[in-house]
């Protein structure tokens, strides 16, 4: 299975760039599955339903959220009716939506997409490790299993917590990829048990910014240690950032993992088709 995961979309710049890039990348990389973290798509905070629909139309199969999941109130009802939009599974019981979704590809193959949120330097939630373990309990990966691939989006601040998630589920999932820090890491690798791993996929947004937000107001908060003006997304040309993974359908494990960086200010990286 050929999979593309795109990191946090930030504002109109990131949203438009990702929407334009997805159909191009689907064709260029012969993609089977596209998963996008869209929690910052709506002016940097949350996701509006019409934006989710536009990303599905562009070719995204699953959208994930994170700590900004509930910034747009319209999402509460939308997430209950759209199973392709998932939020971290370790929110408390009774939270709207689900933390996992099984995608059925046109050829009948299936992929489980799971999202969890970290707890270091983040809001206190239920245990993400036991949450992912519970989500995986109902599925076996590979030929003869219930799914052919399993992806875990771990929305977390600390690289140590992300690495711990990767190693904890090495050999049990196809990919563990980090989101939330909006900066692409250079540690894409296949772990010893066969799971693809990347600490952070980076953001789809304008990198002439402070993690996607306009520089002036964001920097001033560090100088003055007061909130100041409301943060607004940077609106220059975006770099589309993410990770490409190719798996073995017989095992569900990774054969190849490569970063994707397209457009904007960062050095360009495009996997061979």
Find the Cα–Cα–Cα–Cα dihedral 262, 185, 83, 87, rounded to 10°: -140
Checking if the pLDDT of 137 tops 80, the result is yes
pLDDT at 217: 86
Q: What is the pLDDT of residue 4?
A: 98
Q: Is the pTM of this model over 0.85?
A: yes
Does the structure show a pLDDT above 90 at 225?
no
Residue ranges and CATH numbers for the domains of the chain are 2-262 (3.60.21.10)
CA–CA distance, 98 with 207 (Å, rounded to integer)? 31
- Catalytic member of 68, 139, 182, 188: 68
Q: Token pair of 152, please?
A: 């875990």
pLDDT at 226 over 90: no
Q: What band does 66 get if pLDDT is binned at 50, 70 and 90?
A: very high
pLDDT of residue 131 exceeding 80, the answer is yes
Q: What is the pLDDT of residue 144?
A: 86
Respond yes or no: is residue 167 known to be catalytic. Answer: no
Q: pLDDT category, 273, cuts 50, 70, 90? A: confident
The share of the chain scoring above pLDDT 70, in percent, equals 100
The tens digit of pLDDT for each residue in 8-53 reads 999 999 999 999 999 999 999 999 999 999 999 998 899 999 999 9
**Which pLDDT belongs to residue 164?**
98
Whether pLDDT at 229 is above 80: no
**How much is the pLDDT for 172?**
97
pLDDT, average across residues 161-187? 98
pLDDT, residue 253, reads 98
Q: Is the pLDDT of residue 228 over 90?
A: no
In tens, the pLDDT along 78-123 reads: 999 999 999 999 999 999 999 999 999 999 999 999 999 999 999 8
């Amino acid at each position: 299975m050929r999979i593309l995961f795109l990191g946090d979309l930030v504002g109109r710049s990131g949203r438009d760039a990702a929407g334009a890039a997805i159909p191009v990348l689907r064709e260029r990389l012969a993609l089977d599955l596209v998963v996008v973290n869209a929690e910052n798509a709506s002016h940097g905070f949350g996701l509006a339903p019409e934006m989710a629909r536009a990303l599905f139309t562009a070719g995204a199969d699953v959208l994930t959220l994170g700590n900004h999941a509930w910034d747009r109130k319209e999402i509460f009802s939308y997430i209950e009716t759209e199973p392709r939009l998932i939020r971290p599974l370790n929110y408390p019981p009774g939270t709207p939506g689900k933390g996992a979704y099984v995608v059925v590809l046109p050829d009948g193959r299936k992929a489980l997409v799971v999202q969890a949120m970290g707890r270091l330097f983040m809001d206190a939630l239920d245990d993400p490790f036991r949450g992912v373990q519970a989500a995986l309990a109902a599925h076996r990966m590979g030929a003869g299993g219930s799914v052919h691939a399993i992806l875990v989006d771990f929305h977390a601040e600390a690289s140590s917590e992300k690495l711990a998630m990767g190693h904890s589920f090495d050999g049990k999932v196809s990919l563990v990829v980090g989101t939330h820090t909006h900066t692409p890491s250079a540690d894409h690798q296949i772990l010893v048990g066969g799971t693809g791993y990347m600490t952070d996929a980076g953001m789809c947004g304008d990198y002439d910014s402070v993690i996607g937000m306009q520089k002036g107001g964001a920097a001033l908060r560090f100088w003055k240690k007061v909130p100041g003006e409301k943060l607004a997304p940077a609106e220059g040309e975006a770099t589309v950032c993410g990770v490409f993974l190719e798996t073995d359908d017989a095992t569900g494990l990774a054969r190849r993992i490569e970063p994707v960086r397209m457009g904007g200010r960062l050095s360009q990286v495009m996997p061979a088709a």
